[in-house]
Amino acid sequence: MAVTTSKKQLFTGVRVGEMKLKHRVVMPATSGLRAQWPSSVPSELMLEYYTQRASDGGLIIAESSAVSPAGRAYHTGPGLYSESQAAGWHRITDAVHRKGGSMLAQLTHAGRATSSEIIGAPPVSASVDPSFWADKSIVVSGPNGFTLPSTHRSLEVREISEIVDEFRLAAQNAKASRVRWHRDSGRSGSSGRTVPAGSKQ
């Protein structure tokens, strides 16, 4: 069979921001719900999973990591707001880098799409929309299986900037040890330090 131009292109290098990839097969973010609970620290199984999927010159976009305990959408989803979570992710990125791959973090806040069984408090949203929790087709993954999202409340104005801060701190957790998240630079030295994320966990 003749190799088409598009197939040839798939296995050619490309620059994505500061990353130089050797091919264009990128793994998208795929939540596996295998983090430790209740710490939301990435697990041994996640280390094995991502290591298996790493390739020389390839890119993996990590599954979404919560920016705060209240931002968790799934009860076994990972976080990136505590030092132990960042350390858990770094074990994974180190393994991916050893195979020549690159990895990006994805930061998330569940908003109203979660349950008090998961976050221990009512979910928050910009405004209250009762049709959301009345819709029985919307489910979230809690400690006892799928469950309906809990009744949410609207954020106070001051809480909005607190959530912006949570994203900033989680991004710093990733960026402070950036060389561990992006394979190619080698410029900053690999201190692996993380910025204290102000987390209670």
Ligand X SMILES: Cc1cc2nc3c(=O)[nH]c(=O)nc-3n(C[C@H](O)[C@H](O)[C@H](O)COP(=O)(O)O)c2cc1C
Binding site for ligand X (CB under 6 A): 28-31, 63-64, 106
Nearer to ligand X, 64 or 177 (CB): 64
- Distance in Å, CB of 108 to ligand X, minimum: 7
Q: What span, in angstroms and rounded, lies between the C-alpha atoms of 115 and 121? A: 8
- Distance in Å, CB of 32 to ligand X, minimum: 7
Nearer to ligand X, 74 or 152 (CB): 74
- Distance in Å, CB of 29 to ligand X, minimum: 3
- Distance in Å, CB of 187 to ligand X, minimum: 29
Nearer to ligand X, 31 or 194 (CB): 31
Nearer to ligand X, 64 or 102 (CB): 64
